[in-house]
Amino acid sequence: MTESAFAHLGEQRFDVAIIGGGIIGAGIARDAALRGLKVALFEKDDFASGTSSASTRLAHGGLRYLELFDFGLVRQDLGEREILLRIAPHLVKPLPFVVPLWSRSLFYRLKLKIGMVLYDVLSYDKSLPNHRFWSREETLRQEPMLNPEGLQGAMCYYDAQVPSTERLVLENIIDAREHGAEIWNHTAVLSLLEEGQLVNGLKVRHEPSGETADVHARLVINAAGPWLDSLTTRLLHEPSRRVRMTKGIHFTSPPASNNALVLFSNQDNRLFFVIPWQGYAWVGTTDTDYKDLPELVRADGADVRYLRESVEGFLPEADWNTIYYTTAGLRALVRKEGVSESAVSRKHALVDYARVEGREGIIAVVGGKLTAYRGIAQEVVDMACKKLGRSEKSRTAHEPLPGGRLPRSGKKPRLDLLYFRKQLMQENTGLGLSAEQLDHLLELYGVMTLKLLALVRKQPALATPIHLDYPDILAQIHYAIEQEYCLTAADFNFRRTVLGFTKDQGAAALEAVIDEMGKILNWSEEMRAEQRELYQRTVARSQAFRVELNCVQAEPAPAKDVTEPSILN
């Protein structure tokens, strides 16, 4: 990304300019670019650095919405889950969910059974198994840490997990770029370009260089998520109250289950999960109204205490005193007052300012779930095409993401993934990477792992591990900078890799990452120090709950204790 390239933005005319590089904005950029629209996207921080990196990391239909009789939402999300399993099999993996039953009435068990049958029926086109019932003995055999007192058995069903939502966002970004989109992260939107009541573009500032540009576009799409109201108020110079922000947090502890557990808090009966993720128990989420600035969101002691007290009775033998770190994010829900946070619909809404305020040239998307991002993006681009007089149809449900473009048929993506792994082993001949490293790269990059191997073949030194504690290699740093818009150490550790989600949050790798990035980007010692400070601030926010919880920081577990499941299991 050079200054001249940024200045060149002002010389172009775009069909759409997108604000926000989370999963919704990235999905919109991809859909629009695949339809042949001229697209520009601007993200003020880094892609997936907000809500998209703080979700429960699931692609699911939302079993609880059946109880609200929202069959349409469930069916839509189940359909989208199948699409994601098909177009990104390296990033979206089948995951069994278990609903344990303790001292439940016959009526409750019958209601749950009906719900499970409905879930199967609504996912009639699924590739995942139907639900089944486990006896008490089978449940304890599968999940030995469950509290046996009053346990009657369990229901088991399937949904899907997205271990790295950050990589899912990034692959949408990369595909948009491959189809001609201009993509800029660390670029703030300063104001709208306007002629009377017509919005015809954005003034933006590239933060690393300080350079500004006027970006002319026929339509501006605001996909800023939790920042939508504050940004709209600033851009349109009038109050906006379309979003209800609710906070959700998770914490990581030593492994506690073999499957994802669906539990209900004994404090308020709210549903939460205990999920195997990166070798942890991934516990969450909460749902509380949030009124502060979105960029200040974090888990506090009360949040962690609520989850810990909710879970410890169900899994009394697990270690809930050891907490490695937390994550916190904001749902940008369509505003509805007078109901509890959990009762607010997860349905999204599109805002056409030409209709509601007489302002032509700008639309916005409010709300939406990670699972539904592709369908939401399609709906947004349908509206954009109608406004722009275009008739192209969406292709994103059928076109695999870059890492999912597997050889062979593509009709059975998981089998194709196994086939590609064998090919990858052959490509590794003479390069010296271990099977563990190749599987790790395959989970992150899919087919694009071949590009990393090509870098190593040209420069064998790039096969060197970033640190012996992790499977990541130096080639990933070069690839992230050259191909994935990586500008900071935090970008790399938290959103190009999963180093930031290891037990030490990538601390052992930090100096090597800064050193290698500094060589490539010509960082001075002062800039390297800034990178350390920025990274430590990110880590400190995930650890800030400890003072309020009076919790001693957990020591990183030895590497041998990590039993992260392979995507090929």
In the numeric block, the tokens 């609880």 are attached to 64
Residue with more model confidence, 288 or 62 = 288
Q: Which helix (H) or strand (E) holds 355?
A: helix 353-356
CATH topology of domain 3-51+166-242+346-388: FAD/NAD(P)-binding domain (3.50.50)
pLDDT over 50 (residue 1): no
- The pLDDT tens digits of the residues spanning 518-529 come to 999 999 999 999
Give the residue from 502, 408, 487 showing the smallest Cα distance to 447: 408
306-329 residues labelled b (16+ CB within 10 A) or e (exposed): bbbebbeebbeebebebbbbbbbb
Helix, strand, coil in percent for the chain, rounding step 5: 40, 20, 35
Residue-level pLDDT at 65: 74
CA pair distance 350, 145, nearest whole angstrom: 45
Q: How confident is the model at residue 405 (pLDDT cuts 50, 70, 90)?
A: very high
* DSSP secondary structure letters along 159-201: EEE-S-HHHHHHHHHHHHHHTT-EEESSEEEEEEEEETTEEEE
- The pLDDT tens digits of the residues spanning 233-254 come to 999 999 999 999 999 999 999 9
Residue-level pLDDT at 113: 92
Residue-level pLDDT at 473: 98
Mean pLDDT of the chain: 92
Residue-level pLDDT at 404: 96
* Crossing angle of the two packed helices 474-483 and 449-458, in degrees rounded to 10: 110
Helical H segments across 96-135, by residue range: 106-122
- The pLDDT tens digits of the residues spanning 481-515 come to 999 999 999 999 999 999 999 999 999 999 999 99
The boundaries of every CATH 1.10.8.870 domain in the chain are 407-552
Write the class of the CATH domain 69-161+244-329: alpha beta
- The pLDDT tens digits of the residues spanning 322-343 come to 999 999 999 999 887 667 777 6
CA pair distance 448, 335, nearest whole angstrom: 40
The token pair at 34 is: 């695949």
pLDDT over 70 (residue 562): no
The boundaries of every CATH 3.30.9.10 domain in the chain are 69-161+244-329
Mean pLDDT of 68-81: 85
Residue-level pLDDT at 409: 65
Q: How confident is the model at residue 559 (pLDDT cuts 50, 70, 90)?
A: very low
Mean pLDDT of 277-284: 96
Residue-level pLDDT at 73: 83
Sequence-ordered strand ranges (E) for 223-341: 243-253, 260-264, 271-277, 280-284, 288-289, 326-334
CA pair distance 418, 396, nearest whole angstrom: 24
- The pLDDT tens digits of the residues spanning 449-484 come to 999 999 999 999 999 999 999 999 999 999 999 999
Residue-level pLDDT at 359: 94
The token pair at 272 is: 């939460």
Is residue 201 a contact partner of residue 216, using CB atoms and an 8 Å limit?
yes
Across the chain, how many H-helices and E-strands are there? 18, 18
CATH of domain 407-552: 1.10.8.870
What's the Cα-to-Cα distance from 102 to each of 306, 360, 499, rounded to whole Å? Answer: 20, 56, 38
Sign of the CA dihedral with 4 first, then 5, 8, and 9 last: negative
Residue 426 burial (CB < 10 Å; 0-12/13-18/19+)? exposed
Is residue 553 a contact partner of residue 546, using CB atoms and an 8 Å limit?
yes
Residue-level pLDDT at 125: 86
- Beta-carbon neighbour count of residue 188 at 10 Å? 16
CA–centroid distance for 53 within its chain? 5
Q: How confident is the model at residue 61 (pLDDT cuts 50, 70, 90)?
A: confident
Query: What share of the chain in percent tops pLDDT 90?
Result: 86
Query: What share of the chain in percent tops pLDDT 70?
Result: 94
Mean pLDDT of 130-150: 97
Is residue 187 a contact partner of residue 204, using CB atoms and an 8 Å limit?
yes
pLDDT over 50 (residue 560): no
